[in-house]
Every structure is written in C-alpha cells, then in structure tokens.
Chain A
Amino acid sequence: MTTVDDQRIAALLRSVSVPEPRVDVSRAVRDGRRRRQRRRVAGVAALTVLAGVGVVGAVQVGGTANSPAPTTPALAVSPAATGSAAPRPPVTCQASWLSQPIDGPVAVAVGVDPTGRYVVGDIGTGQEDGRVVLWTDGRPVVLPKTARHAAAVNASGHVVGTDGDGTGWVYRDGKLRPLATPPGFDAVLVHAVNARGDIVGTARRSDDSHQAVRWSTAQPQTYRLIGQRGSTATGITDDGTIVGELDQQPYRWTPQGVGAALAVPEGYPRASVESARGEWAIGMVPGGSNGGAVQMLPVRWNLTTAAVSLLPFPGASGISAEGEVLIGDGAPLIVAPDGTSRRLPGRPEVRATEPGTYTAEGISDDGLTVVGAVYENQAYRPLVWRCGR
C-alpha cells in the first residue's frame, strides 16, 4: 500500500457526497435532560433494576425506540407485552461478572453452551494479543494464542472458531487443531458446533462463490460439503439438522443431507438464517425501507411445524431450545414463543443507562443462562446472567 493511495482514499472519503443529516439537536437536549433525571432515579433504584422490571428497564426500551419506528410490523407480539401475566412461575435473574484472566478493554462473552456450563469469550487489549477465553463453571482458561474469534461452544466444552486468515479451528480437551479447508476453497467461516461434535460453516473462494461444509470435532481434517454451490451453513441442531441459506433464501438440510427451503415471511423478498437450537431457528429479513434505509427484522422458524413469525424487535442474538429469543440490542430481553417477555436486570454498580450499555450474545437451551457484556467508561466487561424459576 502506498501513501499516495491512502491519501487519495482519505480525500475521497472526506469529499464524497452523503445524504443531509436529519438530526435534531434540540431533541437531544430534551431527551438528554430526561435521561439525566432517570440516571438520578437509577442510582436510588438499584434494587428495582435487579428485579429487572423496574423503571430503568422501561426507560431503556424508550431509548431503543429511537430506531426507525415505521418499519416495525404490526404483530400480536410487541414490546408492550412486557410484563404481561405469564402462566409459568416468574423467573428471577442475577447478573454477575465473569472473571478476567488477562487484562483488556474489550472483554466480552460471545457464546454459551446449551447447558449453561461453558461460556466462551474474547479479551483484547487492542494490541496483537486478543485471546479467546473459555469459562468452565466460571473458571477461565485462556486458549492458545493462535485460536482467534471463537464462534461457539458445545455441551462438552469444545470450542470452534475462525482465524483472521480464514482457517477454522477446534479446541478440544486442551488441544487446538485446525479444520481442513476443502480443496479449491480459499477460506472458511465456522459458525456452530452441536452436542455430537458436528461443526458447520461455509467455505469460500476468492470470487466469493461459496458452499456449506460440515466437519467433526473428532476428525477436524475430514469434511463433507453440504448442498450445492451457493449454500451457506450457520447452525446445526443436536440431531444434525443443518440450517443456512441457498442462494440467499433460508434453507435446511436433514442429517442425511436432503435439503428443503424454509418459508420466507409473506411480503419479504428473502431471509437469512443465523442459528438453530432444538426445533427452532432464528434469522432476519430486510424490513421496510424508509428513505432508502433498510432495517433488518428478526424472524423465528419452528422447524417441526415450518411456521415462521416476525418479531418486532431491533435484532435477535440467539434462541433457546424452548424457542425463547434473546434480543441483545439496547436492553437485553427474552421473548417466549407465547409473546411474553422478560427483561434481564443490570448490575447495581453500572451507572451507564443508555441503550447499548448491556449486550447479550448467547442463551442456554433452558433460557436460564445468558452471556454478554457491559460497555461503560470506554471498556467492555464480560457478564453472565443466571436465572431460576
């Protein structure tokens, strides 16, 4: 890379025409004043926050409502359903910090295994030493330096991920081993691992053509291509059902490799699939556009009944085996298939209250363990929520 190139690109970025900002400074002052008042309330009401249904939780919903409202579909399930009477016993949750075996301003939990026992995360200082961490019953182990960017962990504590150069890896019983990149492909992106040790991901060529792949934790050097050219695999359930896409349409494959399309919600051109647990899968559709902007909306499939439903939330991070969807953006929220929802509580010592202070990235099969991070004072700290009925 030459300096001239850099300067030319910098100059172009500064001069290229962009749409007029539609930002309201006086609204910022108004909203900001209100938020300052709430912050005072939040300090006093730490106990309410722990209960998870208090004033502060509700305030955070209000904050995320800044995102484009017109694209929210009119559905039976809505954020207003929060707190509506559920027939099941109430769930109480407690947030606690995950220990940090190494220092770093960006320390996040990115996934949890279906049992809730294993948590995988990433701790980086922004230097060349960002590391993958595996917490077992809360005890952290730092993976070898060459393991980067963990994608998932299974109930045996086997971790899979993809290096920066596009090589897959599996960490099992203390050993790190590379996954084979199928011949003719340049890179892979690993997404998921199930209880049997089946690993799925997508292999790519430099011309961006791609195909879904399955490996196993026991034999990382063997692989099987799934489907056909143009397929991707993003999730696998414990019975070996693979979900992903074929030519940008949602798709599933039986454990024997027989493919079938998944339904796209009516009125939408396409959908992506992000992950699957039990008989459920989640993904996204391009929502309504407003002034050319497209908002992605979360979608949930029931793989048994083939039913598909849209969820009126800004984005989904994960799904439990019981079909509970984890809404990780803004203030973390869990939405059950019947439309009831529960908000996850904060930590009393966290003062920041703006949307995005808490992020949730993974949920266990019973929906009772959730992992994520808190962003405050320019640093991320890893967090686990443990819930009980």
Chain B
Amino acid sequence: MVDAEGEFVEYVSARLPRLHRTAFLMCGDAHLADDVVQQTITSLYVNWRRVSRADNVDAYVHRMLVHKLVDEKRLSWAKVRLLGSAPVPERSPATPHDDLAERDSLLAALARLPRGQRTVLVLRFLCDLSLADTAAAMGCSEGNVKAQTARALAAVRQVLDVAEMSARSPR
C-alpha cells in the first residue's frame, strides 16, 4: 500500500506540468486548470492500483483529464461548439511572460477561439489524440472535429503569419 502510494506520488509529480499545460491551454483559465488537474489526480489515486497496471498509463490519465474537462464544460460546449456564442472572459486570463511575439500571439489567438476550436487544437496537436479519440472525448462527430480543426488552424495561422511578417519586416 505504502509502495503503491509512493509510485503514485512519483508518477503524478513527474506528469503534473504536462497535465496542467494541457488543461490550461484547453480552458484558458488557470484556476479551472488547477481544479480539473486536482480532480483528475484524485480520481487517479482512487483507481491507481488498476490504472497502474494498464499498458499505457499516460494515455489513460489523459483521457481522464479530458473527460473531467468535458464534464466541467459539457453544457457550454453543447451550446458553443459550432459558432461559439457563450460568454467567455473577454481577456485571456493568462499573462504570458514569454517575450517571443509568436508565443504571445498564440495565446492571444487561442483566447479568441471558441472553446470547441481551442479544445480540438490542444487535443490534436499537444496531446496527439487521433481524430476518432478527439471526437469521442468531445462527444461530437469526426466531421465536426475536422471542421473545427480547420477553422481553428485558419484563425491561428492568420495570427501567426501576421506576427511573423511584422517580425521580419524591416523597422
């Protein structure tokens, strides 16, 4: 029992930054990200003996995190997943400390995306989830994921290209 607990603490401590990054980039809310990660690792502790025997513990934990976030946001997603009309904080709560223009722009671009679009971006490009897994995690169709990914990429690319152009242009 004590050994299992030690294993759990070691595992969670190593993965915490990545889990938190995923949660934060998906919801754009530092507090909610903390909350969801806390809930996820609590559930993980409860099920640790079973989960730690899984072939791919990381993948399992990832799904738990996504589902916790989906549960938190289920109502809002159902309403905003297509066009994004639910109220969202007007400014990104994150204050990026990074001075690279491109990184700032990425956070700004994410903050402006409807929640569904930023979720597909994070799930597909940060978490490397497949189209099918992303659709299952979000409770929507693959077609919807594809459509949202395309829209999100277009929006993000536009922001990044503008940032890149202004960085390159002689001043």
Contact = CB atoms under 8 A, between A and B. Distances in A.
Interface of A: 1, 5-6, 8-10, 12-19, 21-25, 27-29, 31-33, 35-36, 39, 63, 66-68, 105-106, 108, 110, 122, 124-130, 148-149, 162, 164-166, 187, 189, 191, 202, 204, 210, 232, 234, 248, 270-272, 274, 284, 286, 289-296, 315, 317, 328-329, 354-356, 359, 361, 375, 378, 380
A9 B16 contact: no
B9 A25 contact: yes
B141 to A, nearest CB: 4
Interface in B82-129: 82-83, 85-87, 89, 93-98, 102-103, 106-107, 121-122, 125-126, 128
Interface in B14-45: 16-17, 19-21, 24-25, 29-35, 37-39, 41-45
Majority DSSP secondary structure for residues of A touching B: mixed
B16 to A, nearest CB: 6
Contact of A19 (B94, B121, B143): B94
A144 B54 CA distance: 39
Given A23-B37, A29-B5, A164-B82, A293 B45 contact: no
A28 B16 CA distance: 12
Given A6-B125, A128-B143, A189-B85, A12 B38 contact: no
B107 A25 contact: no
Given A10-B126, A164-B144, 6 more contacts: A21-B33, A28-B44, A68-B31, A124-B140, A189-B83, A378-B63
Residue from B19, B45, B63, B144 whose CB has the most chain A CB atoms within 10 Å = B45
B25 A18 contact: yes
B106 A16 contact: yes
A32 B45 contact: yes
Interface of B: 5, 8-9, 12-13, 16-17, 19-21, 24-25, 29-35, 37-39, 41-46, 48, 63, 67-68, 71-72, 74-76, 78-79, 81-83, 85-87, 89, 93-98, 102-103, 106-107, 121-122, 125-126, 128, 132-133, 135-136, 139-144, 147, 150, 153, 156-157, 160
Contacts, number: 219
Contacts of B76: 296, 315
Contact of A354 (B16, B43, B83): B43
Given A17-B103, A23-B20, A292-B95, A248 B87 contact: yes
B98 A232 contact: no
A25 B89 CA distance: 29
Contact of A28 (B41, B87, B141): B41
A122 B139 contact: yes
Contacts of A12: 102-103, 106, 160
Contacts of B89: 286, 294
Residue from B12, B81, B82, B125 whose CB has the most chain A CB atoms within 10 Å = B82
A338 to B, nearest CB: 24
Contacts of A31: 42, 45
Contacts of B132: 126-127
Majority DSSP secondary structure for residues of B touching A: helix
A13 B142 CA distance: 22
16 contacts: A9-B125, A10-B128, A13-B25, A13-B126, A16-B98, A23-B41, A130-B141, A149-B82, A149-B140, A162-B82, A166-B82, A189-B82, A293-B30, A329-B71, A354-B42, A378-B67
Given A9-B156, A66-B35, A294-B29, A35 B42 contact: yes
Given A13-B25, A248-B87, A329-B71, A380 B98 contact: no
Given A5-B157, A22-B34, A286-B89, A105 B16 contact: no
A160 B77 CA distance: 17
Contact of B83 (A39, A204, A294): A204
Contact of A286 (B21, B31, B87, B143): B87
Contact of B20 (A15, A18, A128, A291): A18
A293 B32 contact: yes
Given A32-B42, A35-B46, A16 B13 contact: no
A68 B132 CA distance: 33
Contact of B72 (A29, A317, A356): A356
A22 B31 CA distance: 8
A317 B75 contact: yes
A52 B71 CA distance: 21
A148 B126 contact: no
A28 B38 contact: yes
Contacts of A317: 75
B87 A13 contact: no
